[in-house]
Amino acid sequence: MTSVDSLQAALNYQFVDKTLLDQALTHRSHSAHHNERLEFLGDSVLNFVVAALLFKRFPKIDEGDLSRLRANLVKQSSLADIATRLCLSQYLRLGEGELKSGGFRRPSILADALEAVLGAVFLDGGFDAAQKVIAGQYESILVHVDPKTLGKDPKTLLQELLQARKFDLPAYTVIATHGAAHNQLFEVECQIPKLEIKVSAPGSSRRAAEQSAAELAIAAIHALAPAKGSRPARARKSTQLSLPVAVSQENK
Amino acid sequence: MTSVDSLQAALNYQFVDKTLLDQALTHRSHSAHHNERLEFLGDSVLNFVVAALLFKRFPKIDEGDLSRLRANLVKQSSLADIATRLCLSQYLRLGEGELKSGGFRRPSILADALEAVLGAVFLDGGFDAAQKVIAGQYESILVHVDPKTLGKDPKTLLQELLQARKFDLPAYTVIATHGAAHNQLFEVECQIPKLEIKVSAPGSSRRAAEQSAAELAIAAIHALAPAKGSRPARARKSTQLSLPVAVSQENK
């Protein structure tokens, strides 16, 4: 385990009581004095501070959008990304079993430990300290948040994209199913006649295949008419990387 | 609408910017400047402050129990109770339709408005003010929280009660079903042979009937051996109020 000094520097917070930080970095597989109570506390201070940051940053969006944005910013993979940036895995105390199975790389363990560290900051330095640390970690993330799209699923995004252009909704059709009852693979086609787009994608459920097909359709639309600021070459490349995609050369 | 002065007194908080309190009391049916964004903010400050209060008050219980307690303390009916104590319905601004249909009594509207008021306190006075108001409202509630039982369902409580006495688990049996496929009524029997308890209860699902039967079984156990401090007469009365209950006279 590396000294926690560099972690404190990355958090921009110095603990008065360093045993709190040690506990926050201790997984239950390591010892009984583990981080799960701190994680409970950290999860709630994090949810609140991110809510307050979003409330202030986006004064016009409604509470449904605020909830969606927050859910996306505090979901496990987002927290694991922050934990990775902080090199949190270097400081974790894991039991033998978790160490051997690579637990220090597991997103759930990283996300939980990050929450526990935030809970420890709150206990050690009070609310203002926790708020400052959380705001510091989310500063660079919030700059890139697009409240219209972040956290929306591809089908919703595609629908909104088409509605904005006054086009009809896309049509999804199951064109094939493979495999036995409990292990089926669905292939779904997404058609947008107005744009002569017809793409298909596989998925382990009809719903999943529809979402993947919608993602390809969005890529196809961007390839036809690249969004401002994005390079056409890049958009086209991403379309070609995807599976069976038929895109007409002309936009009607 | 009554003047908000008495509400501020009940909250033990004076707003600097009273328009925030007005907005918090405005339902979306009344006007566009409604309380839903404040509700989002208030929900998260409430969740955090209650988490911190529980963390401090119960230093030995694990995070699963902390979560269960918090879920119970911030659920809609708990918030509606606090809102009722604050006479919040007197101050609500509702649209015509909601007014006529008695919206000022609806638990969801009361709970949401309470959260919005807490969000308004946070915006107006900062975190410390919100924490003080929330702690003030929960003070008398927290005194009565039993971390072993609050928020647990009857089947879990019954199981724990029996395990503590080293008795076998209760046996649940569906003894009758009535009605057509989508509108069935189940009758479930709960047996505890060691205590010669056999009770049965109806429910719209097997699960619901089991929970009701477990509740009757707990009442029956308390009737056999009243908990310290509770009066036997009262326990017996509650058992007799319930449906088909067969309780032996003696505790083996």
**Residue B117 and residue B203 share a domain:** no
- B234, two tokens: 């009262």
Task: Among B104, B122, B143, give the residue marking a domain's end.
Answer: B143
- What's chain B's length in residues? 252
Could you read off the pLDDT of A80-91 as tens digits, one per residue?
Answer: 999 999 999 999
| No. of helices (H) and no. of strands (E), chain B | 10, 4
Quote the CA–CA distance of B187 and B208 in Å, as a whole number.
10
Neighbouring residues of A145: CB distance < 8 A, sequence distance ≥ 6: A57, A69, A73
**Residue A71 and residue A115 share a domain:** yes
Mutation for B interface: A34, A38, A48, A49, most B CBs within 10 A:
A48
The reply to whether residue A36 touches residue B62, judged by beta carbons under 8 angstroms, is: yes
Domain that holds residue A69: 4-143
Domain harbouring A163, CATH code: 3.30.160.20
Q: Which residues of B touch A (CB under 8 A)?
A: 36-37, 39-41, 44-45, 47-48, 51-52, 55, 62-63, 66-67, 122, 127-128, 131
Domain count, chain A: 2
Q: What is the pLDDT of residue A227?
A: 56
CB B92 within 8 A of CB B113: yes
Could you read off the pLDDT of A41-85 as tens digits, one per residue?
Answer: 999 999 999 999 999 999 999 999 999 999 999 999 999 999 999
In angstroms, what separates the C-alpha of B108 from chain A's closest C-alpha?
Answer: 16
Is A153 a catalytic site residue? no
Neighbours of B31 (CB within 10 A): 11
What is the three-class DSSP state of A176? strand
- Residue of B146, B121, B147 lying closest to B133 (CA atoms): B121
More confident residue, A67 or A226: A67
Task: Among A143, A177, A207, give the residue marking a domain's end.
Answer: A143
The secondary structure of residue B170, as a DSSP letter, is P
Quote the CA–CA distance of A28 and A94 in Å, as a whole number.
8
**Residue A127 and residue A10 share a domain:** yes
Q: What is the pLDDT of residue B149?
A: 87
Q: What is the pLDDT of residue B2?
A: 59
Q: Which residue of A has its CA nearest to B44?
A: A48
CA distances from A16 to A19, A33, A42, A125 (A): 9, 19, 18, 8
Could you read off the pLDDT of B43-73 as tens digits, one per residue?
Answer: 999 999 999 999 999 999 999 999 999 999 9
Residue A29 in this model has a pLDDT that exceeds 90? yes
Mutation for A interface: B39, B60, B63, most A CBs within 10 A:
B63
Neighbouring residues of B30: CB distance < 8 A, sequence distance ≥ 6: B93, B94, B95, B98
Dihedral angle over CA of A25, A30, A36, A41, nearest 10: -20
Exposure of B54 by Cβ count < 10 A (0-12 exposed, 13-18 middle, 19+ buried)? buried
Q: Is the model's pTM score more than 0.90?
A: no
Inter-axis angle of helices B107-142 and A107-142, nearest 10: 110
Structure ipTM? 0.79
**Residue B21 and residue B106 share a domain:** yes
**Residue A105 and residue A16 share a domain:** yes
